């Protein structure tokens, strides 16, 4: 494409360029009514419906201007390596498009050059460009004008780069006065810096305008305020960017026609900086609208994806791959899982037609939970003898993407490296719609859940953690049907409370001993209770063992009680706090399991006793008395201790009824007189909370409260809970 410049006498060119500066500056300062000007510009706009994909052309312009602006720095300061930009211009479609547009680009280039030397007002020149491009869209007008500018600007710096080593380039450079310009580059540096800065802003505006053109119409329309506002401002953005092109081109033209002596003052730099400032303000406004548009599109897509995900789970599938891809990662371009055993990345295919247990949690999953879960996981693996019983666990981390920190990254990597099962490679793979689905449909509230999918991707348990904590590997294959079956076979016995925790107690059960399980956080009560119980056992001549099982919270207080019991040898005690944690986790899981199954029957004696025990834990000390496996009494500390203190009142019944029934009868009478209050606390992180509950003591509907609790058991960074 030809890009020759017309011959002008130096003096004529000087006057024309000075006139351009004065008129441009004056128009910028005096043209207060932008509406009038923009009406003129919009009046030239008469698109004929043609669609031009300007992105490849914009990539080419970017490449030219990027290398040219780098050449400015190379020529005037120090050398630096050119950035390599992928060449996206060899496609057949682009070549054919360029054939159709080359004539227009050449005309724009010549128009800018001639008008610059004629001293035409910058606004008038810009209007003439719009008059040449009436049928094109706003983004095409802008990119075509930038292409015309890149043609001349790139030629200027190409000659500057190679004229010292290429004779043809040297001769052409002399005609353009380039050697002289380069020799006096110091005084010209403010002008080149101003051009460089303005070009960067021009390209940012162009990219932004093209982005608006590429917004998907299926998710956004002009009815969205952000888009309609942006569309109203795009003509202004295009106008001032094209006018900036005219200003930059005028500076290069003046240099090559009049030499370095022309206007080495700061006036030109000020004009260009003013344009850059105006364009920057326009760009900031457009970017805000674009961000709002993207947010709207994101929300629309999330709603659509959420709906599709719900529909997907209502369908029947031949295997689980559609479900897993929808939940974890839909594309095949990366390996989205880490194999816990080899620590290598793998594809989702490793889960095809297997039972998949999705361990869903934040980064606050405790070491206790992980260690117990790993133990159960390892114990249950031998159950996989048959092919149709094979299962895998996959950790799905749910984190707040808006909060990023080194602590969170380290915590995630630490948890991931410690897990023996499959884990999602990175939390960012889990889409927002999936997180919404997990929270709304599967009731995830930051507390870990274990969703079980069968080989066809059907949910067979919304949370298998409860049955895992209660029955361990015996709960395999961890389905809701298996959970209901286990409850049908279960009875209210001491093994239900302590099974899998401490073999010492299981031996006491086999020996038929009387056993007191007791808890609380009051060491004085523990002292009085154990001493009184021991004295009563000696008087009644019964074999009695006692074990302190702590409390569901307040670990520091529990440590102090354990220390007192150990030093004073008051009873057997669980020194390992993990055992205490597991005891209470299992007990809470029994309640949650029944809630999840919809079997929270207020007439179920076993569940009434479990609810009592959980309530007593919240209100203070408590004790459970059993004879071997049979649970005799379950009471608040006030009734149990009083029963023991009043032994003389019921000791005559021991030879008649036996110690267990005599204790039970007297404790029952005390309980009827001074019935303790019941209380249940359901953290908001618990997924499924019953609408109503009846008191296990009086069977009346309990009152519902909202409570804020801060017990300071452990100090964990707040950001890990978001």
pLDDT tens digits for 334-387? 999 999 999 999 999 999 999 999 999 999 888 888 988 898 888 877 655 554
Tell me: do 684 and 609 sit in the same domain: yes
> Is the pLDDT score of 25 beyond 70?
no
Tell me: do 324 and 279 sit in the same domain: no
Mean pLDDT, residues 489-504 taken together: 90
**Candidate from 26-30, 31-35, 367-371, 692-696 with smallest mean pLDDT:** 26-30
Q: How far apart are CA 48 and CA 56, in angstroms?
A: 22
- DSSP 3-state of 133: coil
> Is the pLDDT score of 311 beyond 90?
yes
Element (DSSP H or E) covering residue 508: helix 503-510
**Candidate from 276-290, 428-442, 565-579, 696-710 with smallest mean pLDDT:** 696-710
Residue, of 140 and 714, whose pLDDT is higher: 140
Q: How far apart are CA 565 and CA 262, in angstroms?
A: 95
User: Is residue 172 in a domain?
Assistant: yes
Question: How confident is the prediction for the chain on average, in pLDDT?
Answer: 81
User: Quick one: residue 266, left, alpha or beta (phi over 0 = left, psi -120 to 50 = alpha)?
Assistant: alpha
Which residues is 424 bridged to in the sheet?
337
**Long-range contacts formed by 553-558: CB under 8 A, 24+ apart:** 553/711, 553/713, 554/521, 554/711, 554/713, 555/713, 555/714, 556/713, 557/521, 558/521
Both structure tokens of 298: 């994101």
pLDDT at res. 379? 80
Tell me: do 231 and 330 sit in the same domain: no
Find the helix packing angle between 55-76 and 185-213, rounded to 10°.
160
pLDDT at res. 654? 93
Angle at 197 between CA 192 and CA 202, to 5 degrees: 120
Tell me: do 433 and 537 sit in the same domain: no
Tell me: do 596 and 629 sit in the same domain: yes
User: Is residue 720 in a domain?
Assistant: no
pLDDT at res. 167? 74
Mean pLDDT, residues 556-561 taken together: 91
Tell me: do 396 and 436 sit in the same domain: yes
- Across the beta sheet with 572-573, the strand order is 572-573, 544-548, 514-519, 622-627, 630-636
Where do we find the tokens 């029994």?
590
Running DSSP on this structure, what letter comes out for residue 314? T
Tell me: do 256 and 366 sit in the same domain: no
User: Is residue 433 in a domain?
Assistant: yes
User: Is residue 210 in a domain?
Assistant: yes
**Candidate from 179-183, 275-279, 483-487 with smallest mean pLDDT:** 179-183
Residue 482 CB neighbour total at 10 angstroms: 19
> Measured in Å, how far apart are the chain's first and last C-alpha atoms?
59
Instruction: Report, in this order, helix, strand and coil percent for the chain, each rounded to 5.
Output: 60, 10, 30
Query: What b-and-e string marks burial along 687-712, b requiring 16 or more CB atoms within 10 Å of the CB?
Result: beeeeebbbbbeeeebeeeeeeeeee
Find the helix packing angle between 55-76 and 92-118, rounded to 10°.
50
Q: Show which of 420, 453, 478 is a domain's final residue.
A: 478
User: What is the span of the domain harbouring residue 62?
Assistant: 38-69+91-299
> Is the pLDDT score of 594 beyond 60?
yes
Both structure tokens of 274: 């003013």
**Candidate from 31-35, 62-66, 103-107, 361-365 with smallest mean pLDDT:** 31-35
Find all residues with CB under 8 Å of 705, minimum gap 6, and list them.
none
Predicted structure pTM score: 0.73
| Closest to 249 in 3D by CA, of 102, 145, 158 | 145
Please state, for a pLDDT cut of 90, what percent of the chain lies above it: 49
Residue, of 159 and 464, whose pLDDT is higher: 464
**Candidate from 14-18, 124-128, 262-266, 333-337 with smallest mean pLDDT:** 14-18
Q: Show which of 299, 331, 358 is a domain's final residue.
A: 299
Q: How far apart are CA 655 and CA 19, in angstroms?
A: 122
Cβ–Cβ under 8 Å, residues 157 and 68: yes
Please state, for a pLDDT cut of 70, what percent of the chain lies above it: 77
> Is the pLDDT score of 296 beyond 60?
yes
Find all residues with CB under 8 Å of 426, minimum gap 6, and list them.
none
Running DSSP on this structure, what letter comes out for residue 694? B
> Is the pLDDT score of 24 beyond 60?
no
Tell me: do 169 and 265 sit in the same domain: yes
Residue 86 CB neighbour total at 10 angstroms: 7
In CATH, what number is assigned to the domain containing residue 367? 3.40.30.10
Running DSSP on this structure, what letter comes out for residue 387? G
Residue 99 CB neighbour total at 10 angstroms: 9
Which residues is 345 bridged to in the sheet?
338
Tell me: do 443 and 574 sit in the same domain: no
- DSSP 3-state of 424: strand
- DSSP 3-state of 704: coil
Find the helix packing angle between 432-440 and 267-313, rounded to 10°.
40
Find all residues with CB under 8 Å of 671, minimum gap 6, and list them.
635, 639
Tell me: do 357 and 447 sit in the same domain: yes
Q: How far apart are CA 182 and CA 180, in angstroms?
A: 5
The dihedrals phi and psi of 603, each to the nearest 5 degrees, come to -105, 10
Number of domains in the chain: 3
Alpha-helical regions (H) of 381-479: 406-418, 432-440, 465-471
Residue, of 50 and 83, whose pLDDT is higher: 50
pLDDT at res. 73? 45
Mean pLDDT, residues 649-670 taken together: 92
Which residues is 392 bridged to in the sheet?
356
Q: How far apart are CA 265 and CA 253, in angstroms?
A: 17
* Size of the chain in residues: 722
Q: How far apart are CA 317 and CA 456, in angstroms?
A: 6
Cβ–Cβ under 8 Å, residues 51 and 249: no
User: Is residue 21 in a domain?
Assistant: no
> Is the pLDDT score of 468 beyond 70?
yes
Q: Show which of 419, 449, 478 is a domain's final residue.
A: 478
Write the pLDDT tens digit of every residue in 237-274: 999 999 999 998 888 777 766 554 554 555 667 788 88
Tell me: do 141 and 281 sit in the same domain: yes
User: Is residue 19 in a domain?
Assistant: no
Residue, of 409 and 178, whose pLDDT is higher: 409
User: Is residue 133 in a domain?
Assistant: yes
| Closest to 261 in 3D by CA, of 10, 549, 578 | 10
> Is the pLDDT score of 479 beyond 60?
yes
Q: How far apart are CA 627 and CA 498, in angstroms?
A: 14
pLDDT at res. 530? 96
Find all residues with CB under 8 Å of 443, minimum gap 6, and list them.
449, 462, 463, 687, 688
pLDDT at res. 411? 92
User: Is residue 30 in a domain?
Assistant: no
Both structure tokens of 606: 């076993």
Residue, of 421 and 173, whose pLDDT is higher: 421
Tell me: do 166 and 122 sit in the same domain: yes
Q: Name the band, by pLDDT with cuts 50, 70 and 90, for residue 459.
A: very high
- Strand 630-636 relative to strand 355-361: parallel, antiparallel, unpaired? unpaired
């Amino acid at each position: 494409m030809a890009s020759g410049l017309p011959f002008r006498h130096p003096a004529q060119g000087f006057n024309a360029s000075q006139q351009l500066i004065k008129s441009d500056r004056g128009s910028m300062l005096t043209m207060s009514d932008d509406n009038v000007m923009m009406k003129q510009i919009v009046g030239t706009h008469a698109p004929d419906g043609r669609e031009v994909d300007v992105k490849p052309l914009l990539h080419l312009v970017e490449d030219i201007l990027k290398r040219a602006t780098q050449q400015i720095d190379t020529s005037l300061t120090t050398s630096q390596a050119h950035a390599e930009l992928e060449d996206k211009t060899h496609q057949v479609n682009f070549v054919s498009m360029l054939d159709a547009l080359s004539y227009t680009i050449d005309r724009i280039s010549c128009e800018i050059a001639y008008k610059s030397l004629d001293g035409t007002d910058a606004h008038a020149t810009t209007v003439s460009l719009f008059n040449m491009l009436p049928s094109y869209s706003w983004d095409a007008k802008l990119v075509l004008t930038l292409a015309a500018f890149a043609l001349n600007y790139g030629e200027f710096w190409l000659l500057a780069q190679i004229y010292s080593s290429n004779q043809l380039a040297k001769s052409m450079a002399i005609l353009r006065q380039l050697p002289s310009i380069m020799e006096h580059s110091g005084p010209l540096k403010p002008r080149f810096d101003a051009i460089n800065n303005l070009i960067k802003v021009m390209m940012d505006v162009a990219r932004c305008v093209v982005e608006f053109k590429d917004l998907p119409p299926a998710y956004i329309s002009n009815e969205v305020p952000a888009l309609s506002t942006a569309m109203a401002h795009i003509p202004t953005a295009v106008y001032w960017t094209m006018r900036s092109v005219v200003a930059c081109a005028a500076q290069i033209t003046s240099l090559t026609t009049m030499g370095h002596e022309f206007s080495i003052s700061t006036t030109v730099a000020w004009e260009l900086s003013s344009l850059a400032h105006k364009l920057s303000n326009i760009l900031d406004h457009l970017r805000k609208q674009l961000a709002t548009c993207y947010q709207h599109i994101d929300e629309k897509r999330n709603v659509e994806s959420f709906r599709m995900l719900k529909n997907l789970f209502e369908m029947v599938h031949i295997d689980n791959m559609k479900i897993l891809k929808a939940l974890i990662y839909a594309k095949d371009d990366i390996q989205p899982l880490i194999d816990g055993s080899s620590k290598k990345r793998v594809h989702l295919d490793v889960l095809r037609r297997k039972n998949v247990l999705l361990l869903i949690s934040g980064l606050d999953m405790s070491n206790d939970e992980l260690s117990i879960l790993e133990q159960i996981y390892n114990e249950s693996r031998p159950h996989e003898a048959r092919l149709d019983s094979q299962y895998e666990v996959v950790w799905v981390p749910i984190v707040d993407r808006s909060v990023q920190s080194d602590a969170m990254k380290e915590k995630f990597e630490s948890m991931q490296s410690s897990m023996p099962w499959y884990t999602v490679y990175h939390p960012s793979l889990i889409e927002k719609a999936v997180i919404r689905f997990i929270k709304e449909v599967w009731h995830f509230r930051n507390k870990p859940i274990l969703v079980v999918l069968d080989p066809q991707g059907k949910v067979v348990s919304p949370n298998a953690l409860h049955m895992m904590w209660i029955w361990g590997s015996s709960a395999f294959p961890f389905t809701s049907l298996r959970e209901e079956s286990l409850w049908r076979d279960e009875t209210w016995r001491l093994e239900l409370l302590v099974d899998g925790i401490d073999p010492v107690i299981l031996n006491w059960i086999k020996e038929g001993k009387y056993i007191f399980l007791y808890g609380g956080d009051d060491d004085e009560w523990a002292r009085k209770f154990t001493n009184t119980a021991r004295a009563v056992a000696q008087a009644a001549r019964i074999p009695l063992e006692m074990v302190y099982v702590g409390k569901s919270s307040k670990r520091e207080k529990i440590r102090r009680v354990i220390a007192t019991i150990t030093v004073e040898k008051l009873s057997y005690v669980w020194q390992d706090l993990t055992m205490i944690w597991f005891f209470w986790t299992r007990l809470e899981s029994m309640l949650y399991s029944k809630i999840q199954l919809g079997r929270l029957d207020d007439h179920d004696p076993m569940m009434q006793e479990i609810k009592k025990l959980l309530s007593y834990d919240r209100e203070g000390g408590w004790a459970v008395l059993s004879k071997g496996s049979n649970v005799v009494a379950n009471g608040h500390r006030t009734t149990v201790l009083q029963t023991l203190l009043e032994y003389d009142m019921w000791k005559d019944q021991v030879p008649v009824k036996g110690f267990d029934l005599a204790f039970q009868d007297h404790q029952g009478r005390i309980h009827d007189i001074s019935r303790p209050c019941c209380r249940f606390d359901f953290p908001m992180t618990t997924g499924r909370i019953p609408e109503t509950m009846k008191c296990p003591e009086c069977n009346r509907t309990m009152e519902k409260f909202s409570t804020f609790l801060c017990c300071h058991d452990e100090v964990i960074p707040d950001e890990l809970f978001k």
